[in-house]
Amino acid sequence: MRDIGIDLGTTNILIYVKGKGIVLNEPSVVSIDTTTKKVLAVGKEAKEMLGRTPGKVKALKPMKDGVIADFETTEEMLNLFMKKALGRKSLSKPRILICCPSNITGVEKNAIREIAERMGARKVFLEEEPKVAAVGAGIDIAKPSGSMVIDIGGGTTDIAVLSLGGIVTSDSIRIAGNAFDQDITNYIKNKYKVLIGEKTAEDIKTTIGTVVKNKKKSSLEITGRGATTGLPETITVTSEDVEEALKEDIKKIIESVKSVLEKTPPELSADISEKGIILTGGGSLIDGLVEKLRKELKVPVFISDNPLTNVAEGTGILLDHLYLIDN
């Protein structure tokens, strides 16, 4: 019997099996036949269908802002992922640790717990993402000193100060990678009068995205649909466009980090000032973010070694140290 850790992300789902490591890392996307309600594909295969499906086939994301938006589809998606990850030998009554944003409601927690129990879990642990991310990033949270982590995922940015194995102060805002994509989509629509899809917005973000001005200018040629003509149009988008598009949401993230720092006990603030802040999650990889945070917060800021997998790796460590889990 092996324990299982699940990073239930808005953008990607990662499954960690004790003794094996990360056995699955796939997009949190499902394609369904709207007539029969049958699931046709999940993960990478379903993501390729986003924006490209015929009328009766719909590709959707059942997770929104770090929580379950569609209970039945999420359950079916997780079951299929578990079968894919474990093969025919599904584990008998495993203990499952699932990560969730730090500010989700009791109702949302119960929904996550219920899905895990229906999947056959003997015991379900729920733990907050920034704590698990910190552990996965190599921070010893059991020490009586302050550590701070900012986990920028797909649906939420989770900010936490940790000490003695627990979260001292935290915040979770529903601004992260998916919101950045929407910012880019809206900006291009308003400036260039061109409509683009989710995948194109993500390509722009990852290819030429930046959050600071005066960086080396880069550009990308994209094709979308003219908002007025309805015809295909090709335009050139610049890194300056992306900086302008993301400006307000980056400002909100910085304000949230400052708010958490203001609530932090002085002794722990001194530790953070000395050790710095660790960034994790896919959103932390956008160009210029470390530089911007250092300038705004006046403290050292670093990206973890494996920001995309820190939460999943953290579940594995916590399953070996259950005394650090809150429930």
Domain tally, the chain: 2
**Rg of the chain (C-alpha set):** 20
Amino acid 1: pLDDT:
59
Residues 177 and 66 in one domain: no
Residues 145 and 124 in one domain: no
Amino acid 215: pLDDT:
67
Q: Which residues contact 65 (CB under 8 A, 6 or more apart)?
A: 10, 101, 155, 156, 174
Can you tell me the distance from the alpha carbon of 99 to that of 95, in angstroms, rounded to the nearest whole number? 13
- The CATH number assigned to the domain holding 197 equals 3.30.420.40
CA distances for 80 relative to 16, 147, 150, angstroms:
15, 37, 31
Residues 83 and 184 in one domain: no
Tokens 């009766």 correspond to: 56
Residues 290 and 197 in one domain: yes
Per-residue model confidence as pLDDT tens for the chain (327 residues): 589 999 999 999 999 999 899 999 999 999 998 888 888 899 999 888 877 777 788 888 898 887 888 888 898 999 899 888 887 666 578 899 999 887 788 888 898 899 899 888 899 999 999 999 999 999 999 999 999 999 999 999 999 999 999 999 999 999 999 999 999 999 999 999 999 998 899 999 999 999 998 766 799 999 999 999 999 999 999 999 999 999 999 999 999 999 999 999 999 999 999 999 999 999 999 999 999 999 999 999 999 999 999 999 999 999 988 888 875
Residues 120 and 199 in one domain: no
Token duo for residue 189: 């629509």
Amino acid 94: pLDDT:
87
Residue range of the domain that includes 116: 4-131+311-324
Token duo for residue 282: 């896919």
Residues 153 and 251 in one domain: yes
Residues 121 and 152 in one domain: no
Amino acid 27: pLDDT:
94
Residues 20 and 123 in one domain: yes
CA distances for 127 relative to 17, 112, 240, 291, angstroms:
17, 11, 38, 30
Residues 207 and 115 in one domain: no
Amino acid 88: pLDDT:
62
3-state secondary structure labels for all residues of the chain: CCCEEEEECCCEEEEEECCCEEEEEEECCEEEECCCCCEEEECHHHHCCCCCCCCCEEEECCEECCEECCHHHHHHHHHHHHHHHHCCCCCCCCEEEEEECCCCCHHHHHHHHHHHHHCCCCEEEEEEHHHHHHHHCCCCCCCCCCEEEEEECCCCEEEEEEECCEEEEEEEECCCHHHHHHHHHHHHHHHHCEECCHHHHHHHHHHHCECCCCCCCCEEEEEEEECCCCCEEEEEEEHHHHHHHHHHHHHHHHHHHHHHHHCCCHHHHHHHHHHCEEEECHHHHCECHHHHHHHHHCCCEEECCCCCCHHHHHHHHHHHCHHHCCC
Residue 127 · residue 99 · CB < 8 Å:
yes
30-33 and 21-27: which strand pairing? unpaired
Residues 163 and 292 in one domain: yes
Residues 105 and 243 in one domain: no
Residues 251 and 289 in one domain: yes
